[in-house]
Chain A
């Protein structure tokens, strides 16, 4: 059996689930101009991050890479880069790399144009042009193997590992079997479960992928330890603890359920794209929403499946986020934020397979244009880029 969704075919051959004009500030200092443009022009979204200047070179490269990859992602049909003019990121590289995918792209520079009001005017004109240029594009049938799904859990409780994460794991297995790409991350939430993941690595626990899994977990754990702090004050979060999760190990063992059961093909760094990579992959990123959602969208994922127990409402500007709620009480209580009720598994009313099939069907609808609850509410404004060094 083959499955298709209705997507926007991009000049580079990829298929988008959305057709957006991305407004991309190359530095935090350009955010206000970008926001004014987005408020005025329909069909735009903005990436309002807090990076891009006075950072170490490796982080400036990282921010440039991520912004470029966001612009190249298939849900973006055209891009407008908003530059201040004196920032540390490479705005020209962002423009060139997005242009190389065949998409229309423009750039405005605030200092060169004579300040805020003139840049806003020029930016509105440019964004309007881009929206008019791409908005007539029609959706076409695309095979499911063109899909890249990103996955994440947030505001977890003990239902997450026993219901909603298992549902996502079911969908992940189905997608891998159909030739698609699945990416999970949250390296902090491998602590205590990394041996299970390493054994699932292609080449086994002692092969390069298995060893890499141990290495990224060790790196994340050391990062917490180097400041001499006990991670328990921050992980599990107070909400996780109120939800019954007693330790990072318990949280992790529940969290990794969402990766399903297929072999792990490799580890992507935070900035890496998943072009041409099939099967199940790890992205080395921390669990906090603004940073991991950005990393996943930059990978090229057309959508995210997001598991929650306590109720996490947020999405991402250019990537629909489907909320699977494991806690039946939270689902009813936050029904306008939650897309699917996996709490019926906890109540014994449905099986993981039944809710998994519902999630798979909802995924095809969302890929074909149905808005998720967070999209319809416009709850997707907060994002950021995960950097390694200090602000200098």
Chain B
């Protein structure tokens, strides 16, 4: 599986280099602007960093889906499916790569954001004020007490929901190229299936957690656990369809 993952990363490496290069340039601009206290440049670079980080985070997920779609719809699919690996291994490698890429991107962008805010605060000698203001805003928005463990828990939960949406997309694409292979409107049906799966999953999670205290660790744990189970089920279903009905 490691070999499969190696090539999976390699396929998507170019875009990551571009994203990192753009972020690097903007970060250098930002640091320079802070050091020389050029507020216009500072604001511009912050907006640029924020916009690029948001777009890149979205693009990383989309690229996982596009790469998978190409792997099934173009002749490049032979590169994977001619190798002596089961569909379970191939999908497993893709899912792990997706998780790792999304996690690293999210962690990198968040770390960069925190580092920049911290740097800004140190430069302007207002570290504690900035942290307190951020906590206050988050508390008012979420209606919960904001602590570092809670922030990390929420971020992990968002990450799991995000990964599950990507994996459901892979499942829907597979559906259209396997079980629905000979059906008309297969892309419409698979897209509707994608929407339906997402609605069903969030409803199930909602039903399972609606009696729990809002914002409690138990609620987060159950939501996260269920998301992980749905990710595993969707990965298994995707592999099973490919194993039984592959048609490239």
A, B: real partners: no
Contacts from A to B (Cβ < 8 Å): none
